[in-house]
Amino acid sequence: MNSSTQRSDVEKLGHVTLPAAAAHLHVHSERGIDGAVWARFELPAAELDGFLSNAGYIELSNRQRFVENWHLPSKAPWWTPDDVATFRSGQLRREGSKPRYAGHVLVSANGDSRTVYLFVTGL
């Protein structure tokens, strides 16, 4: 899968707009009755809050982990949210109108950049 296809899958199935600065993108997507996408990417710290707010992830917790290793059905070396010691995590549900989906995000801090784990599935 090329990088433009990966970005397209994340944006379409994840119901987000990736900032141009999103880098090191890894994606696993499934299409079926309810599509799903798993993505990991890096963002500059200065762009993180805008991305999360635009995507609808407003209230994040540093106590509860909403993204875990088991969420990805096949083992991928890049999907390692359980290894993140310091994180912020959140979730959202859109059920009232179409498209209906549930989203989960976990963010780890790495110096001046942030690693974002995103899992979104249709309802």
Mean pLDDT along residues 54-76:
84
Is the pLDDT confidence value at 114 over 90?
A: yes
Reported pTM: 0.90
The pLDDT value given to residue 75: 81
Is the pLDDT confidence value at 2 over 60?
A: no
SS3 string of the chain?
A: CCHHHHHHHHHHHHCCCCCCCCEEEEEEEECCCCCEEEEEEEEEHHHHHHHHHHHCCCCCECCCCCCCHHHCCCCCCCCCHHHCCCEEEEEEEECCCCCCEEEEEEEEEECCEEEEEEEEEEC
The pLDDT value given to residue 1: 57
More confident residue, 110 or 80: 80
Is the pLDDT confidence value at 67 over 60?
A: yes
